[in-house]
């Protein structure tokens, strides 16, 4: 009985969908289709806009679709488009009997007194009808799949939203084309804002490390950043440090964690916000003073605009939907994702794992560009780095790299020489205890260089590296001079040598 009722509901749903798809609900407008064809054939100055914004599937009239498809192919080849040239090309696709009828119809299309004043409006109407047809088709497919109890309704909904997003992007992309006056207007408006808001030269969100800010000018809107390292080398710790700094500057932060729970991330944020040793915190062995410090840190952290997603079962498509939803509420200024290789889902039969990783990195880049916010994506190295000299990483060590390097605007490779049992960094002579080298291996709009960071043993605090006093005295033969002065002199010498 239940199955019979299901079939009746299904039949009724498809009947309604078919009605919507019919002319009763104006799902097409052949007059508009014929008008656009007429404008294309009679007005050469209209053709660039028409061929940029219109595609063959937008026509429901088969004759209009054939004429447009033929004219489009001729336009791409640089051939002239008019009634005679297009009809001559169309004749090769139809029978001689139909050729005469087609000539008559094409002549009728051109009977109107066309100008380019209204072509944009006509194209928009054509796009709207096309979008309505595709929208009803998508909803019809969703209704059918929702009634299959073996399919997850959440997967069906996610798939439908993804397809709707692609549809919206495809039909709207031509409207986002910008000519050079518009581009220059955007460039100088951005320059004006930077001059007003960032007199210190920091044009992006504060990274929390002065040397990183100096080189990269902060986390830039629309940029994809890759922070890569071996396990336990500090990529998550540095991410949380930067996220907390951004939140401290009043930014809304979204953190997607594929590896750690919200509780463990919260533990780390407490470690960054206090001076409580991690061992004491883990063992809950706190003095009254430390407990008071923890309570103060808790109150401070609760005021920060940080949102965490820690299920570990999210796809990159769902990350995009979540970020876009928050951004529409003005609640997402920067996204941190930890980490790329843990994302699953979307791998089709016959595809390689590298292709899946490449798709996810590309979607992360699209997210940054669409929302015009920084997206920081953590990544791992492959095992080849262990066989390299000093285990110093290179771009080729990005695990399952695919197009990661191509998609990223900035790639940072983290290297801790001490973890490879190297006591002295050969490039600078610095002792490696507490030293983290941030190798900026790619910087789309600036120079690449090594940045030297300092970290505490628990890797909860980061700062610019400054050699210990004992090392400076040994370097200068025990002479008393400014630590900063000697450090900068040594740094400049090494840069000259390189």
Whether residue 228 sits in one domain with residue 359: yes
Whether residue 367 sits in one domain with residue 223: yes
CATH code, 91: 1.10.860.10
State the pLDDT at residue 1: 45
In a domain, residue 485? The reply is: no
Whether residue 273 sits in one domain with residue 135: no
Query: Would you say residue 344 has pLDDT above 90?
Result: no
Q: Average pLDDT of 126-146?
A: 82
Tokens representing 336 are 């941190």
In a domain, residue 188? The reply is: no
| pLDDT per residue as tens digits for the range 358-397 | 888 888 998 999 899 999 999 888 777 777 777 788 888 8
Sign, CA dihedral 160-161-162-167, equals positive
In a domain, residue 484? The reply is: no
Whether residue 118 sits in one domain with residue 34: yes
d(CA 269, CA 251): 16
Whether residue 151 sits in one domain with residue 216: no
Residue appearing with tokens 């019809």 = 140
CATH code, 312: 3.40.50.300
Q: How confident is the model at residue 495 (pLDDT cuts 50, 70, 90)?
A: low
| pLDDT per residue as tens digits for the range 390-441 | 778 888 887 666 577 788 899 999 988 888 888 888 888 888 888 899 999 9
In a domain, residue 185? The reply is: no
Whether residue 221 sits in one domain with residue 80: no
Q: How confident is the model at residue 311 (pLDDT cuts 50, 70, 90)?
A: confident
State the pLDDT at residue 20: 45
| pLDDT per residue as tens digits for the range 27-43 | 568 888 888 998 888 88
In a domain, residue 183? The reply is: no
Q: Average pLDDT of 110-127?
A: 78
> Is the CB of residue 182 less than 8 Å from the CB of residue 409?
no
In a domain, residue 198? The reply is: no
Closest CA to 310 of 335, 334, 337: 337
d(CA 372, CA 429): 41
Whether residue 154 sits in one domain with residue 217: no
Burial class (CB in 10 A: 0-12, 13-18, 19+), 95: exposed
Query: Would you say residue 350 has pLDDT above 60?
Result: no
Whether residue 40 sits in one domain with residue 154: yes
Query: Would you say residue 488 has pLDDT above 90?
Result: no
Terminal Cα-to-Cα distance of the chain (whole angstroms): 81
Counted domains in the chain: 2
d(CA 93, CA 86): 11
Whether residue 246 sits in one domain with residue 130: no
> Which pTM value belongs to this model?
0.65
Whether residue 423 sits in one domain with residue 341: yes
Expressed as residue numbers, the domain containing 35 is 2-176
Whether residue 223 sits in one domain with residue 161: no
Q: Average pLDDT of 250-255?
A: 93
Whether residue 139 sits in one domain with residue 284: no
| pLDDT per residue as tens digits for the range 150-181 | 778 877 877 777 777 766 665 555 555 666 77
């Amino acid at each position: 009985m239940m199955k019979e009722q299901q079939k009746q509901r299904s039949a009724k749903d498809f009947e309604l969908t078919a009605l919507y798809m019919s002319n009763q609900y104006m799902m097409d407008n052949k007059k508009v289709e014929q008008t656009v064809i007429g404008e294309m054939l009679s007005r050469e100055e209209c053709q660039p806009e028409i061929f940029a914004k219109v595609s063959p599937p937008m026509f429901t009239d088969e004759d209009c679709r054939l004429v447009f498809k033929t004219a489009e192919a001729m336009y791409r080849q640089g051939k002239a488009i008019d009634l005679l040239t297009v009809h001559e090309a169309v004749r090769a696709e139809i029978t001689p009997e139909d050729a005469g009828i087609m000539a008559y119809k094409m002549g009728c299309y051109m009977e109107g007194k066309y100008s380019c004043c209204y072509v944009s409006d006509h194209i928009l109407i054509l796009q709207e009808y096309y979008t309505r047809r595709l929208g009803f088709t998508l909803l019809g497919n969703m209704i059918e799949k929702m009634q299959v109890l073996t399919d997850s309704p959440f997967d069906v909904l996610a798939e439908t939203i993804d397809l709707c997003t692609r549809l919206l992007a495809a039909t709207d992309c031509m409207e986002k084309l910008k000519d050079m006056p518009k581009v220059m207007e955007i460039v100088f408006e951005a320059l004006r804002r930077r001059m007003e808001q960032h007199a210190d030269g920091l044009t992006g969100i504060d990274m929390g490390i002065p040397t990183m800010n100096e080189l990269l000018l902060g986390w830039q809107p629309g940029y994809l950043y890759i922070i890569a390292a071996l396990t336990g080398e500090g990529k998550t710790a540095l991410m949380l440090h930067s996220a907390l700094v951004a939140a401290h500057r009043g930014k809304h932060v979204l953190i997607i964690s594929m590896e750690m729970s919200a509780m463990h991330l919260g533990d780390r944020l407490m470690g960054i916000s206090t001076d409580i040793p991690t061992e004491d915190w883990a063992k809950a062995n706190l003095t009254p003073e430390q407990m008071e410090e923890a309570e103060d840190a808790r109150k401070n952290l609760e005021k920060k605009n940080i949102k965490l997603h820690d299920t570990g079962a999210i796809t990159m498509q769902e990350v995009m939907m979540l970020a876009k939803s928050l951004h529409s509420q003005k609640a997402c200024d920067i996204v941190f994702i930890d980490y790329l290789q843990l994302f699953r889902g979307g791998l089709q039969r016959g595809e390689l794992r590298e292709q899946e990783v490449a798709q996810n990195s590309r979607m992360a880049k699209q997210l940054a560009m669409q929302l015009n916010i920084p997206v920081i994506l953590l990544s791992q190295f492959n095992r080849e780095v262990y066989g390299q000299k000093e285990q110093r990483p290179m771009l080729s060590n990005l695990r399952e790299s695919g197009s990661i390097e191509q998609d990223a605007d900035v790639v940072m490779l983290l290297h801790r020489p001490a973890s490879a049992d190297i006591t002295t960094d050969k490039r600078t002579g610095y002792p490696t205890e507490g030293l983290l080298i941030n190798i900026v291996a790619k910087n789309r709009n600036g120079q690449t260089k090594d940045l030297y960071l300092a970290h505490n043993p628990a890797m909860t605090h980061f700062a610019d590296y400054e050699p210990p006093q004992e090392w400076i005295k040994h370097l200068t033969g025990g002479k008393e001079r400014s630590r900063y002065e000697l450090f900068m002199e040594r740094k400049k010498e090494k840069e000259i040598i390189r």
